[in-house]
Structure formats: C-alpha cells, structure tokens
Structure 1
Amino acid sequence: MSLKLIGVFGGTFNPIHYGHIKLAQAWKSFASLSKVLFIPSGLAPHKNIVLENKHRLEMLNLALKPYAGFLTDDREIKKYENDLQASYTIETLKRLTQEKEENQALCFLMGSDAFLKLESWHLWNELFNYCHILIVERRESPIHSDQLTPDLKKEWNKRLTQKIEDIETSAYGLIMVKQFEYTDVSSSQIRNAIHLHKNLIQLVPEVIADYININQLYR
C-alpha cells in the first residue's frame, strides 16, 4: 500500500528565505508530499534565536501563503512560551506520529550539513523510529561515508535507499539523498546583508524583505 507522505521541516527560520522554500518545493515535487509542515523552533538547543517569535511566525505565514500545501505549525513556539523548555525534534515527531493517520508517513527534510551533525541532536538515533529522513545534498560537496562517524555510518548503510517507492511503502526508518537545483542561502547571510544595507530581493520573497524593512528587524 502506498502511503501519503507528509514533509516535516524544522528550523529557526530566522528569517525564512528562498533556500528553505526551494528545498521544500524540490522534495514536495519529487516525493509527491501531500503537505509540508514548517515548524519553527521555540528555543533551539543549538542556536541563539535573536528575533521575537511573533516576527518569525508572521514572516513564515507571509512567505508560505502563495504555496499550496505549505503550512506553518507553531507547536514548538507554543511549547516554549508555555513552559520555557527547549524544543527537541524527537518530541515533535512523537506528537506528529500520534496525530497522523494510519496511511500517512512522516518525512523529515534537511540539508546535508545538518545530517552530518545529526549525532549532536537529542536522542538522534530514535528519529528513525518515527520518520524517514530526506536530505538535499550540495552538488559541490556530496556526502561521503568517510565523513560519517561509525555510529552514523552504521545507520546510513542500513537505511539508505535510492527508490522513492521504498519511502512510499515504509512507515519510517529510511534515508534518501537527492541533489536539486535550489537557492543556497543561509539566514546568517541575510542578517549580514541587512547590516551592510544590501538588497534582499535575491535572498527572500519581496513580502519578507518589506516586512523586515518596515519592522526594522536585525538592525
């Protein structure tokens, strides 16, 4: 039985940019994802969030509005605002698993840089019990097995597939890597551009550039 695939895309989105959007578009098209949930972190264990939650959420909503099936999910922000606890991907995936239908499977989207650091994530090896991991790989720096630690390499060798049919017929536990043409942008690059008073139009949707300027963000 072919499962309906749901994309899960976590991050600080500080701010949302074309790199995020193009990565999600590429996987949504290739894997026929029924939807993609963009889940901004409340308090990210790995990063210092420098922007108020309300602004990150509003920019996500503005940026995703033109894209069918792209949805903002604010559960991690609400969790932080309620109990001031850090957000962990494993906890979010557990909750999403409880909420999804039996004929659905979760696919966590990430870039290759994030995957190479996966062992620093809380309970990282349990992620595979709740989702597939779909990785966008840079053409100029593909993932090589010698870059992986022994434990991560073990999971890589056991779970890697090149067939989307494997993803569609398994509830969780697989890894797939693809190279797509997408905009290689980072949020830090955007913040630096703002400090240097550079034009943001090539980096973020116009509505986001306007929002940043109107609200004098990252100044």
Structure 2
Amino acid sequence: MLHPWISPYVNIALFGGTFDPIHSGHLRAAKAAASTFGLARVLFVPSAYPPHKHANRLTPFPHRFAMVALACAGDSRFIPSLLEAPTRDARPQYSVTTVDRVKRSLGGAKDRLFFLIGVDAFLDLPQWKDHRRLLDMVDFIVVSRPGFDARKIWGVLPADRAREARGESLVRAKTGIGRSRLENRDSELEACRWPRLIRLRQTTLHTLEGVHVPIASRDIREAIRARRRIAGLVPPVVEKYILKEGLYAQKAAGRWR
C-alpha cells in the first residue's frame, strides 16, 4: 500500500545546499524523505554561489561536487546535479530560479516536485529571494533537526498565507498502515513519524520528524583542522577524498586522533 502522498507519477525532490562537505546527516534525511514520500529521484544541488554566503570562503565547487557525487553513488535514487554549477558571470543563484527551471523540464504534467530542506534553513526562508513565490511553486519537505521545534514553521509563513493555511496531522491509524508494513521499508523510516502537513493556497508543507542526526558541516571542518577523526560523520568515500585532497586543513600530514 502506498503512502497517501505517493502517486503513480514521478516524485522528485531538490535538495540544495553548499555541501561543504556533504555528510551522513544529509544522506539520512534524504533516505527518510525518499522512503516516506516515494521519491524516485533526489537531486543533490550544490550551490556554486549561494546568496547568503561568501563564495570565496567555500571549498572550490569542483571539490564539493565531487564529494556529492561520491556520496550519491551508494543509492540509485540520489543524483548529483549541476543545476547551480559555476557560471561565467558568477552571479548568485536563487532557489526560486532553480525550481522554475526544473518544473519547466518535468516530462509529465502530473509529475510532482518537492523541495527538501532542513528546518533550520527553512526558518530563514523570509530572507530568500521571492520566497512568497517559491512557497506557491513547490511542495516543501521540512526535515526537523535536533533543538528545533517544527511548529515554528508557522512563523515563517507570510501573514496572508498563515491565515489561509490549514494544519493537519496524519496519524498512523488514519492511514490504515500498520507497523508490520512500516518495517518492510528502509530502516530510516523506522525513526520517522508520519509527517504533519500545512496546506497552503497552491502547495503543501510537510514536516518530517524523527531524523535526528546532530551533524553539521562546520563541525566536520573544525574536527579536521584539529586532526580529530571524522569516521561516521561522512561516508567513507568522502572521508578518503577529503584526506587525499587535503581539504579543510592547512597541513594534511600528521597523526589523526
């Protein structure tokens, strides 16, 4: 039996970020979302020129994309994407533009597009370019993170959208799907409750809870500079790439603790 939001058409999610570096938390969130929403593809979209970060402080795009590609190789649903690759004019790249491009290229009129995002990033949505239009363009899957209350997403909505929105909570009993069927899915789904949702004028916000992996790219970079081990924080292939290329540390040599 399919989840109520899984359709016979293709479900695709965009998962953007700097991925500096991509880590195990990103992958677990993507796997949980893919299992829960029946995503045929999750496009990992590293941004060459994120609007709210200084590009010259980021690891060069080729390295970040290479790490994303290596991490995606372990799951056929995951696709490394060049949608926000470097351009000649080096202008900032905006999610609203990327979503518009993907929607125009979808093969089927009923194919469904989702925007996968962590709740911490979603809380900053009012600072994004054309965020109101983005909310009207695509369904969101908001993945909770440790220390955040997913109910805060109501405060992100523009006042008129919040007045019109309808919140719903889908409990397992309502779906008629028992625990035995859940256990047949990916292990990541075991930790996730059925997502709550907020219906907007044209789109829906889904919150996916229970994916608690307290990992941040910043902490990984700091661990490498301190020559601490990062095993388990990133996929083994990504760890090997980081060490081989000497990323995030001025001196790659030395004994790792």
TM-score bracket, normalised by the shorter chain, equals 0.7 to 0.9
Identity %: 29
5 Å-filtered alignment, 1:70-219, equals: 70-77=78-85, 80-100=86-106, 101-138=108-145, 140-145=147-152, 148=155, 151=158, 154-155=161-162, 158=165, 160-162=167-169, 173-219=203-249
Normalising by structure 1, report the TM-score.
Answer: 0.88
More moved, 50-59 vs 153-162: 153-162
Structure 2: state its 5+ residue gaps: 1-5, 171-193, 250-257
For residue 55 of structure 1, the aligned residue among 63, 66, 69 is 63
CA distance in 2, matches of 1:165, 1:207: 31
Question: Residues 159 and 126 from structure 1, CA distance in 2 versus in 1: closer, same or farther, beyond 3 angstroms?
Answer: farther
Q: Deviations over 1:31-88 (max 9, x none)?
A: 11111000111100112342111101111111110111100111211xx323211110
Moved over 6 A (4+): 164-167
Contact 1:162 1:176 in 2 (8 A): no
Amino acid across the alignment from 1:22: R
Which structure has the bigger radius of gyration? 2
TM-score under structure 2 length normalisation: 0.75
Amino acid at match of 2:61: N
Structure having the higher helix fraction is 1
Query: Aligned with 1:36: secondary structure?
Result: strand
Aligned residues: 214
SS of 1:21's partner is: helix
Higher relative contact order (CA 8 A, sep 6+): 1
